Structure 1
Amino acid sequence: MKRFIVAALAAALAGTAAQAAEFTPVQGGTAAASFASSGPFEQSFVANAGLLTNFAFTFATTNRTATTSTVTFSLFTQNGDTALASQTTNLSGLTFRTLGGFVDVFAGSVALTAGTTYRAVLSSDSSSLALGYNNASDAYAQGALTRRSNSDAACVAGSNRCDANFRYSVQPIAAVPEPASWALMLTGFALVGGAARYRRRATVLRYH
């Protein structure tokens, strides 16, 4: 009986917990653009509903000896001027003119609205940091990488051909248990408590 109650409670609570979903709209791009000459950068994307918990990009260095740097990530709505989140990250292990794997530049919790366009903005004062992107085709049709300099033939404003390598994670917002689920849980707790009291009483009688 107790096992059944515990199983029922677990089932009732299962709807309130959900795994974070990871999305990688663009990866594998081998081009890199310097923050010093073309930054800041912004990558627009259409959100999935939930809590944004992570955002990552790929980076390289244009200086053999400069293997560390800092970058600031800020999140905006498509037309908004107020940052929904902002975080500065210290980068290390940067490789010369070679993009490394994804590096997390944001970890937190920001509510996103499904179907809404957001802008992930990256800025850096580094003279050697470069951002990885894909310039072979329109790798991500729902957004684009915007650069301060539009002189690059692969990233002319309006062509929408460039997209940064980027990845992000969204945690579904837990649903509030239905009244019936709450009733089941409360009943289950009461029954478990009653079973425990009965077991203790039976133990006392056994030794008498």
Structure 2
Amino acid sequence: MLSIRTLTLAASLMASPVMAADVVTVTPANPPSGQAQGPAPFTYRGTAGSRTQQVYASSFFTTAQNITSLAFRSTPGFLNGANYANVGITLSTTNFGDETGTPLSSVFADNIGADAVSVYQGALSFAAPATGGFDYVVSFMTPFLYDPTKGNLLLDVLLPNGTVVDGSSFFLASYDTANAFDDGVYSVNSVFDGSATSGFANTAAAITQFTGTSVAAVPEPATWSMMLVGFGMMGAAVRYRRRSTKTAYA
């Protein structure tokens, strides 16, 4: 029969997410190259700033995970670097999606989920890649816990108005972009105004690779309540059995 101490230890272990191997997710999966290209989710050189929101279908992700970095794929033929003096990147879970469901709203604030986390803030530089690939990497300052059963993943990239954007080449980094109907990605862009509160809908979105560490699903509050009641009943049964045994040998 399990002891109360054993039951308490089991509950403690179940309350702690179990860390596992890294998970790499490309969105959309197996994307073709060259459908489109452009500066989003950032902007061209200058100081006007920009804001772009991109949504990725939850179906791309196989497990709940702490997302720790992302990488954008460079566009073949435009292998250039770029410097962004001030970038804010936020991730959240959203109920909005692409054109086959409820597309992202043109108003940025409408799309942001309640679990929004600022994963990166500050200057960001991308070196010119030698070959095309997921060369433009952003390592997060704060990870984002994403559970695909809760909704789609929203990427929000803000370059405030006045942010200096430049590079060693006249052409800055250009991002390989998926641009097909019902491909699980969608965006809203204001690529020339970092103070805008709304943008223009776009079926295209930069092809993105997310890297995270999978975690065990955490039970809902109602599930925890049922588990605690069960543990309590099991504990009472253990105490009753002990008392009964003592009485029998008295």
TM-score with structure 1 setting the length: 0.53
CA distance in 1, matches of 2:139, 2:185: 20
| Matched AA of 1:174 | P
Residue 128 of structure 1 corresponds to 166
Q: Is the 8 Å Cα contact of residues 87 and 122 (structure 2) preserved in structure 1? A: yes
Deviations 1:168-204 (A, max 9, x none): 657533354431224446888x8xxx9xxxxxxxxxx
Structure 1 residues not aligned, in runs of 5+: 150-155, 195-208
Say yes or no: does 1:62 pair with 2:81. Answer: yes
Equivalent of 1:173 in 213, 218, 224? 218
Q: Structure 1 118/20 Cα, relative in aligned 2: closer, same or farther at 3 Å? A: same
**Aligned-residue offset at 1:72:** 0.7
Residue 45 of structure 1 corresponds to 56
| Matched AA of 1:128 | D
Q: Is the 8 Å Cα contact of residues 70 and 90 (structure 1) preserved in structure 2? A: yes
Residue 153 of structure 1 corresponds to none
Q: Is the 8 Å Cα contact of residues 51 and 190 (structure 2) preserved in structure 1? A: yes
Secondary structure (helix, strand or coil) at the match of 2:185 reads coil
* Percent of residue pairs identical: 10
Equivalent of 1:81 in 90, 104, 109? 109
Residue 18 of structure 1 corresponds to 17
Residue 184 of structure 2 corresponds to 142
Q: Is the 8 Å Cα contact of residues 58 and 166 (structure 1) preserved in structure 2? A: yes
Residue 194 of structure 2 corresponds to none
**Superposed CA RMSD:** 5.1
Q: Structure 1 42/166 Cα, relative in aligned 2: closer, same or farther at 3 Å? A: farther
Higher Cα Rg: structure 1 or 2?
A: 1
Residue 247 of structure 2 corresponds to none
Structure 2 residues not aligned, in runs of 5+: 75-79, 95-103, 192-199, 243-250
Q: How many residues align?
A: 179
Residue 90 of structure 1 corresponds to 122
TM-score with structure 2 setting the length: 0.46
Deviations 1:66-125 (A, max 9, x none): 5x74321234644472644352423566313562445226435688862x3453210122
| Matched AA of 1:44 | V
Q: Is the 8 Å Cα contact of residues 52 and 111 (structure 1) preserved in structure 2? A: yes
Residue 139 of structure 2 corresponds to 103
